[in-house]
C-alpha cells in the first residue's frame, strides 16, 4: 500500500479533529491527542478549542476542576492534561524507568527503593481530606520522624520529588489556591481508571499513538513514548513487534511507516487537504511527531516551533506563524508557495471567534 505525504497528513488532520473540526467533548479531545501540554493555560485551551466546533472560553479549566481531565507531570517531565480514562497508560510507561531508585535520588532524598511504598501511602493519607498545597503536605509529612529530613525539600517546593508520586498515580495537580499549586489524590476521582500493568499499557500506548499520529515510523514512536516517557527503546521495539498483524506497513513517498489495520483503508482513500489552521505554540500537531519531522515542520522552521511560535498549518505542513496582539493578527508566511488568501481569511475569522474579539488581518512575508 502506498500513499503520499499530503494524503497522510490530510488523514492525520481528521484524526486530530482539525479537518473537519470535531464535536467531541473536551475530555475526548484530550484523550484523542494523548496529552495536552499544560504549562501555559491559554495555549492548552486554544489547542483544545481549535478542535471543537462549539467551544467556550474556560472549558478546559472547568473540565479539569470537574475531574473530567487531570493535570499531572508526564511527557518530558512537564505538566500535561491527560484523560482520566487512559492517562494511567502513559504514566505506567513514565514510571517504568523507576528514576526514584537511581543512586543520586536515593542519596539526595534519603529514600531507599524499599521506603517508597510507605512514603506513597503516607502521602495519600495526608491528602485524604482533600487537596493540599505542597507546603501543607510537607508540614503533615515531616511530623512523621521517617520524613522529617524532607522538610527543606518541601520548603523549596518539592518539584522533583512530587513527579514520581504523579507517575505512580498517587497524586495529580489540583486547582491552585491563592496562586499556590495544590496536590490531590487521583484515586478519589471516579473517572480515574488507574495504572495498568506495563505489558498491557505499552501496546495500548503504541496503538493509540499510531491511530492519532500515524502513519508513523518506529522512530516517531521512540520520540513520543521513548524520549517523552523514558519507556526504553527495547521495550518499544518489543511492543511494536507484539502488535503483529494489528499494524500495516505503508509506503509514504518512499518512507516505510505504520498504521493501525483499521485505519489503512481510510488512509488510502484520503485526499490532500488545502485547509489552513492557526494553532497555538507547542500544539500536539507539531510536538507529537516531533519538530525534527520535516514532513510537518520543514527544517528551516524547526527553531520557531521549538521556541513556541504559533504555527500556521496549510495542508498539514507548517508554512508560517501568527501572532495576535490587541486587535492585530499578523500572519508571517514562510513558504515559497503563495499564501492561500481565502483559506487564511476564513481561519482568521475562526480564530477571532475563539479569542472573542475582532481582528485586523495582515499577511506578511518573512523578513
Is residue 74 within 8 A of residue 38, CB to CB? The reply is no
Residue 208 has pLDDT above 80, yes or no: yes
Q: Of all helices (H) and strands (E), which one includes residue 222?
A: none
- For residues 360 and 321, membership in a common domain is answered with yes
Which of 269, 298, 318 is the last residue before a domain boundary? 269
What per-residue confidence (pLDDT) applies to 9?
98
The domain total for the chain is 2
Indicate whether 303 belongs to any domain. yes
- For residues 264 and 282, membership in a common domain is answered with no
What per-residue confidence (pLDDT) applies to 336?
93
Residue 255 has pLDDT above 70, yes or no: yes
Number of Cβ within a 10 Å radius of residue 75: 21
pTM: 0.96
Confidence of residue 25 (pLDDT cuts 50, 70, 90): very high
Residue 173 has pLDDT above 70, yes or no: yes
The residue assigned the cell 504514566 is 91
Confidence of residue 276 (pLDDT cuts 50, 70, 90): very high
- For residues 287 and 345, membership in a common domain is answered with yes
Confidence of residue 367 (pLDDT cuts 50, 70, 90): low
- For residues 202 and 253, membership in a common domain is answered with yes
Number of Cβ within a 10 Å radius of residue 198: 15
- Domain of residue 223, residue span: 2-18+197-269
User: Do β-strands 328-333 and 317-325 pair in parallel, antiparallel, or remain unpaired?
Assistant: antiparallel
Indicate whether 226 belongs to any domain. yes
Q: What DSSP assignment string belongs to 244-289?
A: GGGEEEEEETTEEEEEEGGGHHHHHH------EEE--TT-HHHHTT
Indicate whether 78 belongs to any domain. no
Which is nearest to 158 in space by CA: 143, 168, 147? 147
- For residues 204 and 283, membership in a common domain is answered with no
Residue 179 has pLDDT above 90, yes or no: no
Indicate whether 255 belongs to any domain. yes
Angle between helix 116-126 and 159-167 (nearest 10): 100
Residue 159 has pLDDT above 90, yes or no: no
Which is nearest to 196 in space by CA: 90, 101, 123? 90
CATH number of the domain that residue 218 is part of: 1.10.10
Q: What is the Cα–Cα distance from 123 to 163, expressed in whole angstroms?
A: 13
Which of 219, 245, 269 is the last residue before a domain boundary? 269
Indicate whether 217 belongs to any domain. yes
Which is nearest to 345 in space by CA: 331, 357, 326, 332? 331
Work out the average pLDDT over 151-168.
94
Work out the average pLDDT over 37-52.
97
Indicate whether 151 belongs to any domain. no
- For residues 284 and 351, membership in a common domain is answered with yes
- For residues 230 and 247, membership in a common domain is answered with yes
- For residues 224 and 305, membership in a common domain is answered with no
What per-residue confidence (pLDDT) applies to 35?
98
pLDDT tens per residue across span 94-140: 999 999 999 999 999 999 999 999 999 999 999 999 999 999 999 99
Which of 248, 269, 290 is the last residue before a domain boundary? 269
Q: Which residues contact 35 (CB under 8 A, 6 or more apart)?
A: 74, 75, 80, 81, 82, 87, 90, 284
Residues recorded for the chain: 367
Which is nearest to 25 in space by CA: 160, 191, 146? 191
- For residues 351 and 286, membership in a common domain is answered with yes
Is residue 199 within 8 A of residue 206, CB to CB? The reply is no
Indicate whether 211 belongs to any domain. yes
pLDDT tens per residue across span 306-357: 999 999 999 999 999 999 999 999 999 999 999 999 999 999 999 999 999 9
Residue 366 has pLDDT above 90, yes or no: no
- For residues 260 and 322, membership in a common domain is answered with no
- For residues 265 and 280, membership in a common domain is answered with no
Residues 338-344: contacts with CB under 8 Å, at least 24 apart: 339/363, 340/274, 340/276, 340/314, 343/274, 343/275, 343/276, 343/314, 344/276, 344/312
Indicate whether 219 belongs to any domain. yes
The grid coordinates listed for 347 are: 481561519
Q: What proportion of the chain, given as a percentage, has pLDDT over 70?
A: 100
Work out the average pLDDT over 62-76.
96
- For residues 257 and 284, membership in a common domain is answered with no
Amino acid at each position: 500500500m502506498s500513499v503520499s505525504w499530503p494524503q497522510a497528513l490530510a488523514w492525520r488532520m481528521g484524526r486530530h479533529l482539525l479537518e473537519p473540526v470535531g464535536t467531541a467533548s473536551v475530555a475526548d479531545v484530550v484523550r484523542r491527542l494523548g496529552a495536552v501540554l499544560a504549562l501555559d493555560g491559554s495555549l492548552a485551551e486554544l489547542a483544545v478549542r481549535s478542535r471543537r466546533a462549539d467551544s467556550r472560553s474556560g472549558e478546559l479549566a472547568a473540565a479539569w476542576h470537574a475531574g473530567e481531565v487531570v493535570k499531572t507531570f508526564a511527557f518530558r517531565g512537564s505538566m500535561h492534561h491527560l484523560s482520566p480514562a487512559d492517562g494511567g497508560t502513559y504514566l505506567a510507561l513514565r514510571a517504568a524507568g523507576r528514576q526514584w531508585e537511581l543512586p543520586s535520588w536515593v542519596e539526595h532524598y534519603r529514600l531507599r527503593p524499599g521506603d517508597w511504598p510507605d512514603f506513597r501511602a503516607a502521602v495519600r493519607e495526608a491528602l485524604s481530606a482533600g487537596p493540599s498545597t505542597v507546603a501543607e503536605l510537607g508540614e503533615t509529612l515531616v511530623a512523621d520522624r521517617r520524613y522529617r529530613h524532607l522538610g527543606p525539600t518541601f520548603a523549596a517546593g518539592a518539584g522533583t520529588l512530587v513527579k514520581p508520586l504523579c507517575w505512580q498515580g498517587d497524586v495529580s495537580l489540583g486547582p491552585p489556591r491563592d496562586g499556590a499549586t495544590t496536590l490531590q489524590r487521583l484515586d478519589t476521582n471516579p473517572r480515574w481508571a488507574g495504572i495498568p500493568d506495563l505489558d498491557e499499557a505499552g501496546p495500548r500506548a503504541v496503538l493509540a499513538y499510531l491511530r492519532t499520529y500515524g502513519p508513523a515510523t518506529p522512530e516517531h514512536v521512540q520520540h513520543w513514548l521513548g524520549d517523552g516517557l523514558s519507556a526504553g527503546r527495547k521495550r518499544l521495539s518489543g511492543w511494536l513487534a507484539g502488535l503483529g498483524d494489528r499494524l500495516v506497513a505503508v509506503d509514504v513517498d518512499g518512507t516505510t511507516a505504520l498504521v493501525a489495520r483499521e485505519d489503512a483503508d481510510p488512509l488510502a482513500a484520503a485526499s490532500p487537504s488545502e485547509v489552513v489552521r492557526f494553532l497555538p505554540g507547542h500544539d500536539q500537531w507539531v510536538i507529537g511527531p516531533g519538530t525534527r519531522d520535516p514532513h510537518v515542520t520543514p527544517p528551516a522552521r524547526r527553531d520557531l516551533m521549538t521556541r513556541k511560535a504559533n504555527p500556521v498549518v496549510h495542508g498539514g505542513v507548517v508554512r508560517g506563524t501568527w501572532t495576535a496582539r490587541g486587535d492585530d493578527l499578523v500572519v508571517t508566511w514562510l513558504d515559497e508557495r503563495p499564501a492561500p488568501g481565502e483559506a487564511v481569511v476564513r481561519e482568521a475569522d475562526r480564530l477571532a471567534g475563539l479569542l472573542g474579539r475582532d481582528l485586523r488581518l495582515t499577511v506578511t512575508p518573512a523578513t
